């Protein structure tokens, strides 16, 4: 069970329901900064798109293998590149007195070219896998093991599967096959732990047999219960955390992973559909191999289970080592067709060629698809080929799917995109300053320039913006509170400008925080320093920024309200901006959502004025995230900084409130209308 998702968020919900008054730091902090925040209820502005909040995702930091994809066996097809010193595939070892070797003769199929051969020598012997930084064992849990096996050299016995302690001294669960046949066959076993089993990741998975002869194994897999019990499914605790973010889209696959380091390792979606034993896997761009058990159908499963739409990124003929094909080339024709087929796989009817394949993968209903992104960060392509590549693909997509909105990742001139995808990784304070980036200029607009992954403001000519990657970069492996505040202000600024910025998603989303363990062949699991949600084999936790974003996502509202800060003493930050405030309106339940970030070192005392209605007597709730700006949540101490709630009763149309230093506050004010 997840350490945070249920406990903290549920606690927070309970506090709203009972109206319990939490003791807030803001109530006692000294107010050095005073001013007025006026919110005009009479003229609701732009509608905030329903699909404003989303998730960005790629295979980085063991986000899928060793993360969201619930598979527990690392290197299940024995093809991971790093070798053990004993010449066995990495993460595999011999148990007992036999001999283990890899064998490329007579594979199960071409997607599984390597099998593991176990030669028995009379006694009991087996092969053991140590998982992704351990195999998580929990009490009263049923695990499903599947593997291909064949017998030879006279072996005619069963194979027994064990979940056991790392030293083999304690067995947590076991199950046996019938007699292994001489040809390849798939075996499925259920292993059930009992009530007394510990919750531990210090465990291994073993397949063993006794007697003489040989056994070959291929595609050895072990799944715990998955989210909503989906086959080949997802880790429940992480899904629970993500569901609290209420994502309405998933950018898939985002980032460098969509491109790949070399053409041979590009995101080749056609190799990532169908049964897992037909997926060969590929070398990812972040230093480790991807099993591709988490492929395109699993992205769709993720969308379906979270109620989110895919925002599809298609491979666009450029890879990270700089190789690319120009528009008009034979290869670009192939990639363009692949993109059209991918769109059909996701959104086409079940009778269409690729829709049929999706239905065979378990999704008879087409998925809604409104946005297709061509490439990723193509501004890295210094050859200038993107304009041509983009235009070739955009024209083909527009012709076949005229209603799809097309997203460009770098400046283009030959085809007008519907959106640009801007990316920003910045310091915490810098990101807070960028909260006004997309504001409508009060005077003549500054010339638009593109720099370091994003534009310097809102687009002209009806082109919209998707902020498809962004994050403040303080705190490792997850953001500290300072970052969370920069992040919060930035998102509030995007939301305020959601007539121009239609969607946003933080990156990277997931990080396996496990440390390096060279003795077992484990490098450190993460590649990126600052990430939203952390976990190891057994536990998961939301970062402080995760909580800030749960607050914002759960209090979005549907229209922007004008909010003006005045009379604020300037002191604590370099640009003089200590506070940032916005407001939105939830029309259905007549709730005004006032959102305030205090980035400064002193409390801020504000008079909140709700203007534009005759009788306003707000009651409601204040949700506050506040604390030491350097605090980083961890798996061991995840609850140190989590939002708190308090009730607000009959505050009137104008009331005072103190905002703690280093805080994000959302006031949910129920207003009575005249």
Q: Using CB under 6 A as the criterion, which residues of the chain lie in contact with ligand AHR when the complex forms?
A: 58, 60, 255-256, 376-377, 469, 507-508, 528
Residue 526 C-beta: closest distance to ligand AHR, Å: 11
Minimal CB distance residue for ligand AHR: 255
Structure letter (DSSP) for residue 447 = P
Residue 189 C-beta: closest distance to ligand AHR, Å: 38
User: Which candidate, 376, 475, 483, places its Cα nearest to that of 421?
Assistant: 376
Q: Based on CB atoms, which residue is closest to ligand AHR, 509 or 552?
A: 509
Q: Based on CB atoms, which residue is closest to ligand AHR, 8 or 507?
A: 507
Q: What one-character-per-residue DSSP string does 344-375 give?
A: HHHHS-TTSHHHHHHHHTT--SPPP--EEEES
Residue 171 C-beta: closest distance to ligand AHR, Å: 41
Q: Note whether 220 and 74 are within 8 A (CB).
A: no
Q: Based on CB atoms, which residue is closest to ligand AHR, 344 or 469?
A: 469
Rounded Cα distance between 305 and 333, Å, is 34
Q: Note whether 222 and 162 are within 8 A (CB).
A: no
Q: Based on CB atoms, which residue is closest to ligand AHR, 371 or 528?
A: 528
Q: Based on CB atoms, which residue is closest to ligand AHR, 128 or 507?
A: 507
Q: Note whether 202 and 134 are within 8 A (CB).
A: yes
Q: Note whether 667 and 620 are within 8 A (CB).
A: yes
Residue 238 C-beta: closest distance to ligand AHR, Å: 18
Q: Based on CB atoms, which residue is closest to ligand AHR, 256 or 391?
A: 256
Q: Based on CB atoms, which residue is closest to ligand AHR, 533 or 578?
A: 533
Alpha-helical runs (H) found in 520-604? 544-553
User: Which candidate, 403, 380, 376, 400, places its Cα nearest to that of 390?
Assistant: 376
Residue 377 C-beta: closest distance to ligand AHR, Å: 5
Q: Based on CB atoms, which residue is closest to ligand AHR, 80 or 377?
A: 377
Task: Specify the length of the chain in residues.
Answer: 674
Q: Based on CB atoms, which residue is closest to ligand AHR, 345 or 390?
A: 390
Q: Encoding tokens for residue 93?
A: 């070892």
Rounded Cα distance between 626 and 219, Å, is 48
Q: Based on CB atoms, which residue is closest to ligand AHR, 377 or 474?
A: 377
Rounded Cα distance between 596 and 608, Å, is 11
3-state secondary structure of 393: helix
Residue 508 C-beta: closest distance to ligand AHR, Å: 5
With a CB cutoff of 8 Å and minimum separation 6, the contacts of 114 are 77, 78, 79, 89, 102, 103, 104, 107, 218
Residue 293 C-beta: closest distance to ligand AHR, Å: 21
What are the percentages of helix, strand and coil residues in the chain, rounded to 5?
A: 20, 35, 45
Q: Note whether 387 and 353 are within 8 A (CB).
A: no
Residue 481 C-beta: closest distance to ligand AHR, Å: 21
Residue 256 C-beta: closest distance to ligand AHR, Å: 4
Residue 380 C-beta: closest distance to ligand AHR, Å: 8
Residue 339 C-beta: closest distance to ligand AHR, Å: 18
Instruction: Report the Cα 537 to chain-centroid distance in Å.
Output: 17
Residue 421 C-beta: closest distance to ligand AHR, Å: 9
Q: Note whether 466 and 421 are within 8 A (CB).
A: yes
Q: Based on CB atoms, which residue is closest to ligand AHR, 242 or 538?
A: 242
User: Which candidate, 220, 10, 15, 31, places its Cα nearest to that of 114?
Assistant: 220
Q: Encoding tokens for residue 491?
A: 């998102």
3-state secondary structure of 619: strand
Q: Note whether 80 and 89 are within 8 A (CB).
A: yes
Residue 263 C-beta: closest distance to ligand AHR, Å: 18
Q: Note whether 592 and 561 are within 8 A (CB).
A: yes
Rounded Cα distance between 290 and 297, Å, is 15
Q: Based on CB atoms, which residue is closest to ligand AHR, 144 or 268?
A: 268
| Residue 319 burial (10 A CB sphere; 0-12, 13-18, 19+) | buried
Q: Based on CB atoms, which residue is closest to ligand AHR, 60 or 642?
A: 60
In angstroms, the Cα distances linking 485 to 53, 472, 555, 582 are 17, 9, 16, 14
Residue 90 C-beta: closest distance to ligand AHR, Å: 24
**Burial track 402-420 (b if 16+ CB lie within 10 A, e otherwise):** eebbbbbbbbbeebebbbb
Give the strand pairing for 160-165 and 171-176.
antiparallel
Residue 253 C-beta: closest distance to ligand AHR, Å: 10
**Cα end-to-end distance, the chain, whole Å:** 48
Q: Based on CB atoms, which residue is closest to ligand AHR, 258 or 624?
A: 258
Q: Encoding tokens for residue 125?
A: 């012997």
Q: Based on CB atoms, which residue is closest to ligand AHR, 26 or 376?
A: 376
């Amino acid at each position: 069970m997840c350490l945070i998702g249920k406990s903290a968020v549920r606690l927070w919900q309970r506090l709203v329901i009972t109206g319990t008054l939490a003791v807030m730091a803001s109530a006692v902090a000294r107010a050095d900064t005073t001013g007025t925040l006026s919110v005009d209820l009479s003229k609701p502005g732009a509608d905030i798109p329903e699909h404003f909040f989303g998730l960005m995702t790629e295979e980085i930091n063991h986000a899928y293998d060793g993360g969201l994809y619930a598979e527990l066996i690392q290197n299940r097809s024995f093809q991971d590149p790093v070798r053990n010193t004993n010449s066995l595939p990495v993460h595999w070892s011999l148990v007992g007195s036999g001999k283990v070797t890899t064998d490329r003769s007579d594979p199960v199929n071409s997607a599984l070219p390597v099998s593991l051969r176990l030669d028995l020598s009379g006694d009991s012997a087996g092969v053991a896998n140590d998982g992704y930084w351990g195999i998580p064992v929990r009490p009263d849990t049923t695990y499903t093991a599947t593997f291909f096996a064949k017998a030879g050299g006279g072996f005619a016995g069963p194979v027994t599967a064990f979940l056991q302690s790392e030293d083999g001294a304690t067995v947590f669960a076991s199950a046996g096959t019938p007699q292994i046949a001489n040809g390849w066959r798939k075996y499925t076993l259920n292993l059930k732990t009992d009530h007394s089993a510990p919750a531990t990741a210090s465990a291994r998975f073993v397949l063993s047999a006794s007697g003489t002869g040989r056994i070959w194994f291929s595609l050895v897999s072990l799944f715990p219960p998955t989210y909503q019990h989906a086959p080949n499914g997802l880790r429940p605790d992480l899904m629970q955390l993500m569901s609290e973010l209420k994502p309405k889209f998933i950018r898939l696959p985002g980032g460098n992973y969509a491109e790949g380091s070399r053409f041979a390792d590009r995101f080749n979606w056609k190799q990532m559909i169908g049964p897992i034993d037909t997926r060969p896997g590929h070398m990812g761009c972040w230093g480790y191999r991807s099993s591709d058990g988490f492929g395109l159908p699993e992205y769709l499963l993720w969308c379906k289970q979270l109620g989110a739409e895919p925002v599809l990124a298609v491979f666009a003929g450029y890879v990270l080592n700089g190789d690319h094909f120009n528009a008009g080339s034979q290869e670009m024709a192939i990639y363009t067709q692949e993109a059209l087929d991918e769109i059909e796989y996701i959104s086409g009817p079940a009778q269409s060629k690729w829709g049929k394949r999706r239905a065979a993968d378990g999704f008879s209903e087409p998925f809604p698809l409104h946005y297709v992104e061509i490439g990723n960060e193509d501004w890295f392509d210094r050859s200038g080929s993107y304009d041509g590549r983009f235009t070739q693909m955009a024209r083909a997509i527009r012709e076949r799917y005229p209603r799809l909105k097309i997203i460009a990742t770098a400046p283009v001139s030959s085809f007008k995109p519907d959106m640009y995808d801007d990316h920003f990784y910045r310091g915490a304070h810098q990101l807070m300053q960028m909260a006004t980036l997309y504001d409508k200029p009060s005077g003549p607009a500054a010339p638009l320039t593109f720099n370091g992954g994003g534009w310097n403001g809102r687009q002209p000519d009806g082109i919209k913006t998707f902020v498809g990657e962004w994050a403040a970069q303080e705190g490792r492996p997850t953001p500290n509170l300072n970052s969370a505040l920069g992040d919060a202000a930035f998102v509030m600024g995007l939301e305020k400008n959601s007539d121009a910025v239609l969607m946003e998603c933080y990156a990277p989303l997931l990080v396996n925080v496990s440390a390096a363990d060279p003795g077992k062949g484990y490098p450190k699991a993460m590649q990126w320093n600052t990430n939203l949600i952390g976990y190891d084999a057994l536990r998961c936790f939301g970062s402080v920024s995760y909580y800030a974003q749960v607050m914002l996502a759960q209090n979005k509202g549907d229209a922007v309200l004008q909010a003006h800060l005045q009379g604020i003493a300037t002191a604590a930050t370099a640009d003089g901006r200590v506070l940032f405030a916005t407001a939105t309106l939830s029309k259905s339940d007549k709730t005004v959502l006032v959102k305030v970030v205090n980035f400064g070192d002193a409390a801020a005392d504000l008079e909140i004025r709700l203007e534009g209605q005759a009788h306003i007597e707000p009651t409601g709730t204040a949700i506050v995230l506040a604390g030491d700006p350097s605090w980083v949540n961890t798996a061991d101490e995840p609850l140190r900084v989590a939002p708190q709630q308090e009730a607000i009763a009959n505050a009137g149309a104008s009331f005072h409130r103190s905002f703690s230093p280093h805080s994000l506050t959302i006031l949910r004010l129920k207003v009575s209308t005249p």
